[in-house]
Structure 1
Amino acid sequence: MKTTKVAPLIFLLIWTVTSITRWPSHTICKSGNLEMKYRSCDPRQDFALSFDSCSSVLPQSANIRIGTVLRYPIRELTVDVSLAINGKKVPVYSKKICERNHPQFSFCGKNKGEYVYYEAPVALGVHEIPQGDFNVTVEMFNEDHNTIICADITIRNL
């Protein structure tokens, strides 16, 4: 009798876990003709992101906030940024931001299971967002090429 009650529950749990293929889309900002959203492209983990500026005319730098729980340690951390053009990713930026002997940021050297929160101004290098739809992928991975954070960012400026 108990088996007939437990079996559907186990099936429901397995189906729920395996049927979730994408994280929800989160709105970064929406103002006038500008809308920015992000979604984690890491199938196992979502993260939090916020951005202070919500205008198509950007300041020299803007505050960003990122938070996540680490699934892997960070001894070295590389960030890759790519832009999707006609469905193909084109690399536009790549930089090692944590090195073993030169920790530049507070999250460098953090261990698996630790909560990482980063808040600081970031130089944008762009003064105005052109009109159109843009898809930007930001991937951060450690020295073993394990994904720390992966974000698909959609920018729509009409």
Structure 2
Amino acid sequence: MKLSDQELSILRELQRDASLSLAELSDRCSMAQSTLWRKLQDLEASGVIKARVAVLDPAMVDAKLCVLASVSLHDHTEEAVNAFTSLVQRLPQIMECQKVSGEADYMLKIRTNDVDAYEQFMSHNLLRNPYIRSVTSSFVLKDVKSTTALPL
């Protein structure tokens, strides 16, 4: 989808602060509120804007430990992939899941309160799953950069 300069301006501002009022957003984007409102409706209807959310501080909500886990499945049958996908969707601790190339099949970004909580999560949810062959965990020591903003 080819986006206009005006639409890109709207998206940049929303990525910085999705709580802006229509008036504030129209000022920042230098366009009439009615034009802005129509463009927002179009961007949402087309799926460019998927959601407007609040970004929380993980340490303030007992999710300060971040783990990146490489997961390999025993096989890649439709049953195994569907079961794994279903498991990922059910577990709120899994923030992201990407199917990747290389030695692992999937990369997971997992948030828990601490190492003990992660061990419990791993033992009860991942390691007991019959479709998962192995899990390799890396603990994030420090967030050097963390953003939800896409490069526009």
Instruction: Output the TM-score relative to the length of structure 1.
Output: 0.22
Higher helix share: 2
